[in-house]
Structure 1
């Protein structure tokens, strides 16, 4: 009995289709992985850029003059006890939590981190020696400075008073560096006058 001739054309087409489908599935999966990695890298790059901009630019500015006050009468040997200045946010600046701000006082012979006044209370006090405090709040968002928080917000101003451990003498060049938790530090450099009075505008 003669055997029926075999034909493998149908099997060859089916195998080719399976191989093609396998290649398409693998290529699609690989493309998905590559695109996902690309999107992740792009997002990380954007986050890095935004963080770098936030860290490199200071959002603080001095409002008005810097004053040095004490019990001076213009006599030789008088010293400045407190350095007072007002701070606000620069245009477009984001709010800054002053409960997390670090202030560092320095001159030619001293470097000290000033101790913040207790900010869990709304009582406004002058700082203790070697410390700093918010002594006045202007334009608080809720209109009541007595209940305002240490979060400096747009249009708001904090008056800051600093009392270095060693009081400032005549002709002393000093700096106070305001270091927020986010953003660049803001440095205030001034020189005490040759004759120190009770109130002195510092330049």
Structure 2
């Protein structure tokens, strides 16, 4: 079973900044809908939101920030920045060949669905 999903997010050309301290994520598969909780480090006043410990629960984390020109390390995704997100799946697991979606829901603007399928065969 897949116990976590990692992906990279960035802004579209000309897109407005997105506050990940106010962004929600939802995992969906054929049997569950799970609201993934935001890591407690991801808040509007935090100067370093990058997570580097042990993952737990149905949660999501920012594990890397690329192109951070301002050097602030905060949760505001700005022009040219890329956040690497890790979604830890505790109660929500993905079995082989199972379709799943992680929906990224920013506080303003359209949500973005990441649709994928678990790899075939046995996962250990």
TM-score w.r.t. structure 2 length? 0.86
Match of 1:86 in 2: 8
Deviation per CA, 1:106-131: give whole Å up to 9, x if none: 01110010000012452523542201
Residue segments in structure 2 that go unaligned for 5+ positions in a row:
none
User: Which of 95, 102, 112 does residue 176 from structure 1 map onto?
Assistant: 102
Contact 2:96 2:123 in 1 (8 A): no
SS of equivalent to 1:174: strand
Contact 2:30 2:99 in 1 (8 A): yes
The structure in which a higher percent of residues are helix is 1
Residues 10-159 of structure 1: pairs in structure 2 closer than 5 A: 79-118=1-40, 119-120=42-43, 122=48, 123-125=50-52, 127-143=55-71, 147-159=72-84
Instruction: Name the CA distance, whole Å, in 2 between partners of 1:166 and 1:175.
Output: 11
Contact 1:117 1:127 in 2 (8 A): no
TM-score w.r.t. structure 1 length? 0.54
Contact 1:80 1:196 in 2 (8 A): no
Moved over 4 A (4+): none
User: Which of 103, 115, 120 does residue 194 from structure 1 map onto?
Assistant: 120
Report the structure number with the largest CA radius of gyration.
1
The Cα RMSD (Å) is 1.7
The structure in which a higher percent of residues are strand is 2
- Greater RCO (Cα-Cα under 8 Å, separation 6 or more): 2
